[in-house]
Amino acid sequence: MDQFLIELSEAKETQASSDVDAKTIKCTNCTDDAPATSSCVECAEYICESCVQAHQRLKFTRNHTINTKEEALIDDKTTTNDEKMLMCHVHPQEKLSLFCETCDISTCRDCQLVDHRYHKYKDANETRATLKLLLNELTYKRDLLNSEIKAIDEREKLIADGKEKLVTKITNMVVRITNTVYMRGKQLEMRLSEVCDGESLDQCNDRSC
């Protein structure tokens, strides 16, 4: 019972701490130190109401996904380490949410606005989706190629086995023919000896040997 009360107390403290954190989160997109009300998925930032409106007005960010602050907090708890590593090394607070097609590299929003301002770019999620399709197609073609290679290997094995059997068959046939010719030769020799011996005997009888 005491253990249950302790665990219940700890759970309440954790929940309270989480609620305090949610209330104290500030907007990381502006310098007004305003409390955050939402979160931009592509920018990976907590933003205030003014920044939400700015996101919706700007062509560069109008298609970004805006979640509530509470949804973002849940996502942060379930985010993997690999996902957390997708941050810009130049601007650590910025997520690599874009892909510069001119330079063929992933960039964050700030990098694209400064170092890649006039470059052609796409949303990183769109690029990932394209790469995923290409990877799936490549995997399919690889599996198809492996299947063809396997079929060729099996056919080559059948040819090799057939050749070995045919060579064995020819060898056995040659041996049989050779033996037959040899035996026939012996039979002819014996027959010749019999004929010759018979003629010699007849000649001897005619002469009254």
- CATH number of the domain encompassing residue 112: 3.30.160.60
Average pLDDT, the chain: 78
**Which conformational region is residue 49 in: left (phi greater than 0), alpha (psi within -120 to 50 degrees), or beta?**
alpha
Structural domain includes residue 20: yes
Structural domain includes residue 176: no
Q: What is the pLDDT of residue 199?
A: 64
Structural domain includes residue 152: no
Looking at the fold, whether 49 and 64 belong to one and the same domain comes out as: yes
Gap between the Cα atoms of 110 and 91, Å rounded:
7
Q: What is the pLDDT of residue 200?
A: 62
Average pLDDT over every residue of 33-42: 84
Looking at the fold, whether 3 and 58 belong to one and the same domain comes out as: yes
Choose the most confident range, by mean pLDDT, from 84-88, 143-147, 196-200: 143-147
Structural domain includes residue 39: yes
Q: What is the pLDDT of residues 123-144, one digit of tens each?
A: 888 877 877 888 788 888 988 9
- Full residue range of the structural domain in which residue 39 is found: 1-79
Looking at the fold, whether 4 and 22 belong to one and the same domain comes out as: yes
Gap between the Cα atoms of 22 and 36, Å rounded:
9
Looking at the fold, whether 2 and 39 belong to one and the same domain comes out as: yes
- Reported for 105-110, long-range contacts at CB under 8 A and 24+ positions apart, including other chains, are 109/42, 109/43, 109/60, 109/61
pLDDT at 34 over 90: no
By three-state DSSP, how is residue 107 classified?
strand
The strand pairing partners of 66, in sequence order, are 40
Q: Where are the alpha helices (DSSP H) in the chain?
A: 2-24, 49-57, 69-78, 81-84, 109-114, 124-206
Listed residues 31, 56, 79: the one ending a domain: 79
Q: What is the pLDDT of residues 80-102, one digit of tens each?
A: 444 554 788 888 888 888 888 88
Average pLDDT over every residue of 11-33: 60
The pTM (predicted TM-score) of the whole model is 0.37
